[in-house]
Amino acid sequence: MRHPPKRLRGFTLVELLVAIAVMALLAIVSWRGLDGMVRSQQQTREHADAVLILQTVMDQWGADLDALQAVEHTEPIAWDGQVLRLTRRGMRQPDEGAVVVAWALRNVDGAAHWLRWQSAPVRTRAEWSDAWDRAARWARTPDEAERRQEAVLMPLAGWQLFFYRGGAWANALSTNTAGSLPQSPGGLNSAAASIPEGVRLQLTLPPGGALAGVITRDWASPVLGGGKS
């Protein structure tokens, strides 16, 4: 006795729509989870890169200050509120001579950046004076030749300097006597020519970046500052 074959029953339209909706919901949840993981990894990588750049810049800052050189009739360090100029020992060979280094905040491609400039080695007073003047021009209106000697370091909203002298910290502008006391051409009074016992640097990082806020870095002269920090 044969029985009539049973008719196969398929999914209804409502069941298909429900299944599609569930799969779409699962896909959205999975995509959001993956997107969150990618964003977290990207933020971690940007933060690590920003920390590495900051550490490298601070190492260079400390190396420049450690190598400050007081040469007769030259200025070892001067801050005018816009550019910090340094006379430091050469970096390649002991007999290379001194170099003039400048640090400044300037607009680069529409954003404020911290920059560093370095002269060629100088061995005479005239060469030093020319490099010292070029460092000041570079901070304000650099030409192409001076730009080739600069390094764009990092975005920066602002910076302040304080010198440690006479047992206290004071704004570097108020302790810089180079512009207030009489000088002979190419020379400086003894107060302005002295290297401070310490230098305090305060950096204001721009908001919205991987690093933000205010960073303070103290430097103590290995010769004059003893163990101050």
Residue type, 205: L
The angle subtended at Cα 66 by Cα 62 and Cα 154, nearest 5°, is 25
Task: Note whether 217 and 205 are within 8 A (CB).
Answer: no
The answer to whether residue 205 sits within a structural domain is yes
- Residue with the bigger pLDDT between 120 and 187: it is 120
Residue 72 per-residue DSSP state:
T
The answer to whether residue 60 sits within a structural domain is yes
The answer to whether residue 229 sits within a structural domain is no
Helix (H, G, I), strand (E, B) or coil at 104: strand
Residue 36 CB contacts under 8 Å (≥ 6 apart), including other chains:
none
Expressed as residue numbers, the domain containing 150 is: 45-220
The answer to whether residue 11 sits within a structural domain is no
The answer to whether residue 68 sits within a structural domain is yes
Total domains, the chain: 1
Residue 211 per-residue DSSP state:
S
The answer to whether residue 13 sits within a structural domain is no
Gyration radius (Cα) of the chain, Å: 30
Task: Note whether 147 and 106 are within 8 A (CB).
Answer: no
The answer to whether residue 31 sits within a structural domain is no
Interval 2-55: pLDDT, tens? 655 555 566 677 777 788 888 887 877 777 776 667 777 777 788 888 899 999
The answer to whether residue 38 sits within a structural domain is no
Residue 178 CB contacts under 8 Å (≥ 6 apart), including other chains:
75, 78, 188, 189, 192
Residue 37 CB contacts under 8 Å (≥ 6 apart), including other chains:
none
Residue 228 confidence (pLDDT): 44
d(CA 214, CA 204): 5
Q: Which two tokens stand for residue 183?
A: 């000088």
Residue 187 confidence (pLDDT): 46
Pairing mode, strands 168-171 and 198-205: unpaired
Residue 188 confidence (pLDDT): 44
By mean pLDDT, which of 48-62, 95-109, 137-151, 173-187 is the weakest? 173-187
The angle subtended at Cα 80 by Cα 66 and Cα 99, nearest 5°, is 40
- Residue with the bigger pLDDT between 202 and 24: it is 202
Interval 124-164: pLDDT, tens? 889 999 999 999 999 998 989 889 999 999 999 999 999 99
Residue 139 confidence (pLDDT): 92
